[in-house]
Amino acid sequence: MQKQLAFGFAEKPPEVSAKKASNPKGYTGLYGFHKYWGKKPHEPLAFIIEQLTSDADTVLDPFVGSGITARESLLRNRRFIGFDINPIAVEITRLLVSPPDYESVYDTFKYLEKSVKEKIGQTYLMSDGCIASHYLWENDLLQQVWLRRGLGNAREERSPSAHDLELIDSLAGYRSKFLRRPNFFSNGRINAHKDLAISDILTGRAQHNLDLLLHGIAELPDDLAKPLRLCLTAASGQMTKMVFAVTGRGKTGGKASSKVEVGSWVIGYWRPKLHFEVNVWNCFERRVSKLLKAIRTYDPLTSLHISPSLAEFYRCDSKCCIECTPCQDSIAEVANQSVKLILTDPPHSDRVPYLELSELWNAILGLEPNFDDEIVISNAKEREKSPETYGDAMNAFFAQCRETMRDDGFLVLLYNARQEDRWTFVNKLIDDSASTGLEYIGQFPCNYSAGSVVQDNRKGGLKNDVALVFGNPDADLGEIGQLCDIPNWTTQIPFH
C-alpha cells in the first residue's frame, strides 16, 4: 500500500548549519547505494532547502539526477517535482524518495538466491568443487583464479586449470537475451565507439549470469522487482571487463609489492589490459547487502506515493512527482507561480555525457533514453551537441522556468565548468534579468565531499561547484536566510 506523506510528521532531520553545509561528508546509507555521475553532497542541498523554503512549499529540480534534492526536500515536508531525461537517474530517485521496506527486499532476495545462486555458481565451479570468486585476465589470457573458503579465510590464488578453461569456453559465445542492445557513440573521451558491443564489455559467462538474474527478477511483481533490478545496475560495473587489477601498491623492504588487488571501474568504457572477471552473484549479493543496510532502520519516506505525471500530481494533491522526461517539455506543465524554490544542478557543459555513460545501466533496465533532447556538450560528433546548442537550450529553459516561480521564489543553480567560455550561459542568464525576471543575488562555493563519486579531475576543473542564487528583482534580501553565512559568500559574478 503506497502512502501519501502527511505534512508535519515528527521526525524531521536536524537542521543543517552553514558550517556543516560547507564541509560535507561522504555518501552513506541510501546515498551511497548507487553510483551516479556528478552526484552532489546532501548537506548543502538540505541547507539551501531549509533556508529558502518552509513546510509544504514546492521545490522543483528539473535535472534531478540521483535524487538528492528530492529526498532532502521530502524529508523536510516540502512538496517535490523532479524531472530527468535519464531512465536510470529516475529509477534511483524513485528509490530514494520511496524506499522499499526491509522485509520485502530481504525476502525477495532470499527467494532469488534459492532459484538462481546455485545455477550461477555452476559457471564458476572449480575441479575440486569450490566456487571461484575472481579471474585475473591479461587481455584474453587467463592468469589466475581466486577463491575464498568462507568469510574470514585468506584468499587462495591458483593457476588456471584445464577445467577452468573448458568452463570459460563453454560460455564464451553466449550473448544476452535480456539486455537491451546498447547504443554507443564514438566518443574518445570515454573510450566509446559506435561499434562497441556488449561482448566487448562483458564476458559470455557474465552475460549468461546477468540473464539468469534478469530473468529471475522479471518474474517478480513490479514493486519487488524494481529495487533488485537497481541492485543489479549498481553492481554491473564490477561485473564487467572494466575492473582494473591494481599492482605495485605499497612497499615491502623498499620494493613495490607484487600483490595484485581488485580495483574498480573508471568513468567511461576503459578496458584495462590487466583486469578482473568477478563472480556475478557475489557482485549482486554485495549490492543487495548495501541496500538492506541502508533501509534497515525506519525511514519516514518508505513506500511514499510518487505521482508518475504532473497531471496526477495536481489531481491527487500529491507530495511528489518524478517524471522521466526532457525538462524543456515538462516545464510547461508546472502550474504558474507555484514553485518556491528551483534547486538544480544542471549538466555542466561537457563534463559528463550522462546518457552515453549510463548506457549499460539503461540496457539492463531495458529502457531506451531520449538522446536527442539531452542538454549537454558531447565529443561524439554524430550527436551534434555543441557549446552553442547547449548554451541556447540552457538559456531558453531557465527563461521558461521563471513563470513557474512564486514572486517570493528563488532559483539556485549549482554550476562548475573547466573553461571560461562555458560560463557563457550563466552570464547571459545574469545579463537577461530584465527580460527573464530572474535577478542574480550572489553565490557561494559548494564543496564536494572527500568521498565524492566520479567527479571531474581533468586539469583546470574547479575544485568545487558554485551555488548561484537568483530571485525576483523585488525579492526581500532578508529572505535568503543564512545563505550569506556560508564562508566565501559573494555577490560577485563568476567569470564575467
Binding site for ligand SAM (CB under 6 A): 36, 38-40, 62-63, 65-66, 68, 83-86, 89, 326-328, 345-347, 354, 373-376
Is the CB of 39 or the CB of 226 nearer to ligand SAM? 39
CB contact at 8 A, 346 and 467: no
CB of 157 to ligand SAM, least distance (A): 38
Considering the complex, what minimum distance in angstroms separates the CB of residue 17 from ligand SAM? 21
Residue nearest to ligand SAM (CB): 65
488 within 8 A of 24, measured Cβ to Cβ? no
Cβ proximity to ligand SAM: between 277 and 456 the closer is 456
- CA 457, CA 345: separation in Å to the nearest integer? 18
Nearer to ligand SAM, 131 or 355 (CB): 355
Nearer residue to ligand SAM within complex by CB, 27 or 102: 27
- State in angstroms the smallest separation of the CB of 317 from ligand SAM: 25
Q: Which is nearer to ligand SAM, 202 or 364 (CB)?
A: 364
Distance separating the N- and C-terminal Cα atoms of the chain = 52
The least CB distance from residue 44 to ligand SAM, in Å, is 11
Supply the minimum distance, in Å, between the C-beta of residue 204 and ligand SAM: 31
* Closer CB to ligand SAM, 72 or 277, in the complex: 72
Q: How far is the CB of 319 from ligand SAM (least distance, A)?
A: 20
Residue 24 or 216: which CB sits closer to ligand SAM? 24
Residue 39, φ and ψ in degrees, nearest 5: -65, 140
Pick 57 or 323: Cβ nearer ligand SAM = 323
Retrieve residue 234's grid coordinates: 549498481
Give the shortest CB-485-to-ligand SAM separation in angstroms. Answer: 23
Label each residue of the chain as H, E or C: CCECCCCCCCCCCCCCCHHHHHCCCCCCHHHHCCCCCCCCCHHHHHHHHHHHCCCCCEEEECCCCCCHHHHHHHHCCCEEEEECCCHHHHHHHHHHHCCCCHHHHHHHHHHHHHHHHHHHHHCCECCCCCECCEEEEECCEEEEEEEECCCCCCEEEECCCHHHHHHHHHHHCCCCCCCCCCCCCCEHHHCECCCCCHHHHCCHHHHHHHHHHHHHHHCCCHHHHHHHHHHHHHHHHHHCCCEEEEECCCEECCEECCCEEECCCCCCCCCCCEEEEECHHHHHHHHHHHHHHHCCCCCCCCCECCECCHHHHHHCCCCEEEECCCHHHHHHHCCCCCEEEEEECCCCCCCCCHHHHCHHHHHHHCCCCCCCCCCCCCCCHHHCCCHHHHHHHHHHHHHHHHHHEEEEEEEEEEECCCCHHHHHHHHHHHHCHHHHCCEEEEEEEEECCCCCCCCCCCCCCCCEEEEEEEECCCCCHHHHHHHHHCCCCECCCCCC
The nearer residue to ligand SAM, 17 or 328, going by C-beta atoms, is 328
| Least CB distance to ligand SAM at residue 224 (A) | 25
What gap in Å lies between CA 56 and CA 488, rounded to an integer? Answer: 31
For ligand SAM, the closer CB: 116 or 365: 365
Nearer to ligand SAM, 176 or 358 (CB): 358
Cβ closest to ligand SAM, residue 90 vs residue 438: 90
Which CB sits closer to ligand SAM, 77 or 325?
325
Q: How far is the CB of 88 from ligand SAM (least distance, A)?
A: 9
Q: How far is the CB of 324 from ligand SAM (least distance, A)?
A: 9
The single-letter code of the amino acid at 252 is T
Q: Report in angstroms how near the CB of residue 389 gets to ligand SAM at its nearest.
A: 11
CB of 435 to ligand SAM, least distance (A): 22
Contact 322, 64 (CB under 8 A): yes
At closest approach, how far in Å is the CB of 308 from ligand SAM? 16
Instruction: Scan for cell 550572489, then name that residue.
Output: 442
* CA 402, 406, 410, 413 torsion-angle sign: negative
C-alpha cell at 329: 517539455
